[in-house]
Chain A
Amino acid sequence: MLFDFVFYMFAVIVIVSAMGVVFSKKMMYSAFSLLFTFFGMAGLYVLLSADFVAVTQIMVYVGGILVLIVFGVMLTSKITGVDIKTGTIGKIQLTVGAITSVIVAIILLFTYLNVEWMTSQFQIEVSTTTHFIGFGLFTEYLLPFFVAAILLLVAFIGAAKIARRK
């Protein structure tokens, strides 16, 4: 019962703040709504017994990506002007976009609700997933791990190179 309540609370937080991200008129409000979306997702991960991923979500998304996005918002908008607004869009584009996303939602929901997913009742009882993730990363997924590390290095050097003023 309590589990259900917590799940619905986090689900509502995620969906409502995601709506805030896409519907709000001001960029800063969108950025802060994104914060609540990321925290709600971390809560859902905890409910799905993915503790390590939840903490990674908070550290990387909230601590890194969100700070980068807020910096981007502040660096690319004139604070005093009207440019901090998200910019209006024509009625036709808005209608087409709304129809597209509603169709996507309907297709996804139809699929998810009608397919008989292969779930297993058997649940491994573990206290923490960190051990298994570490073991997996350094045995079976060693090559992707190193490729991801090099990709991060290259991406950050490239980002610094691109963003530098001439």
Chain B
Amino acid sequence: MEIGLTHYLVVSALLFSLGVFGIVTRKNSILVLMGLELILNSANLNFIAFSKFKGLNIEGHIATLFVIVLAAAEVAVALAIILNIYQNYHHIDVDEINKLKE
């Protein structure tokens, strides 16, 4: 069977659900962030796959580049917030963080 659009879509669906699983079951906020990265990657794979199978439409590539830029900004801000939480709580369990300031 020739590799077609659905093959890539199946990979992206599995990646997405693994990311969802990571986000909802992990307690450590950095691991939640990693699950988020998996989800963003699966979205990127969809963009690129659809762009390829619509006759190499370049708009999907540009959307992917913007997603990568936003992912970089998001990780930087999220890690800064996590470092701040760690200074206040001495742990980063998302279950137990319930105050914004002391």
Binding site for B on A (CB under 8 A): 3-4, 7, 11, 14-15, 18-19, 21-22, 27, 30-31, 34, 37-38, 41, 44-45, 47-50, 52-53, 56-57, 60-61, 64-65, 68-69, 71-73, 75-76, 83, 86-87, 89, 93-94, 96-98, 100-102, 104-105, 108-109, 112-113, 117-120, 122-124, 126, 129, 132-133, 136-137, 141, 144, 148, 151-152, 155-156, 158-160, 162-163, 165
Contact = CB atoms under 8 A, between A and B. Distances in A.
A133 B55 CA distance: 15
A61 B45 CA distance: 14
A94 B53 contact: no
A137 B62 contact: yes
B34 A30 contact: yes
30 contacts: A15-B18, A18-B15, A18-B38, A22-B38, A31-B34, A53-B64, A53-B65, A53-B68, A56-B68, A57-B44, A61-B71, A68-B75, A69-B33, A96-B24, A97-B25, A101-B17, A101-B24, A102-B17, A108-B16, A112-B13, A120-B53, A132-B58, A136-B58, A137-B62, A148-B66, A148-B70, A151-B73, A156-B76, A162-B80, A162-B83
A161 B22 CA distance: 29
A37 B65 CA distance: 18
Q: Shortest 8 CB-CB distances between A and B: which pairs?
A: A105-B17, A155-B73, A101-B21, A22-B22, A163-B80, A108-B13, A97-B25, A159-B80
Contacts of A87: 26-28, 93
Contact of B17 (A94, A108, A155): A108
B48 A120 contact: no
Interface residues of B, number: 72
Nearest to B93: A87
A76 B82 contact: yes
Contacts, number: 231
Contacts of B69: 60, 148, 151-152
Contacts of A15: 11, 14-15, 18
Contacts of A165: 87
Contacts of A60: 68-69, 71-72
Contact of A64 (B4, B48, B72): B72
A159 B76 contact: yes
A89 B25 contact: yes
B75 A65 contact: yes
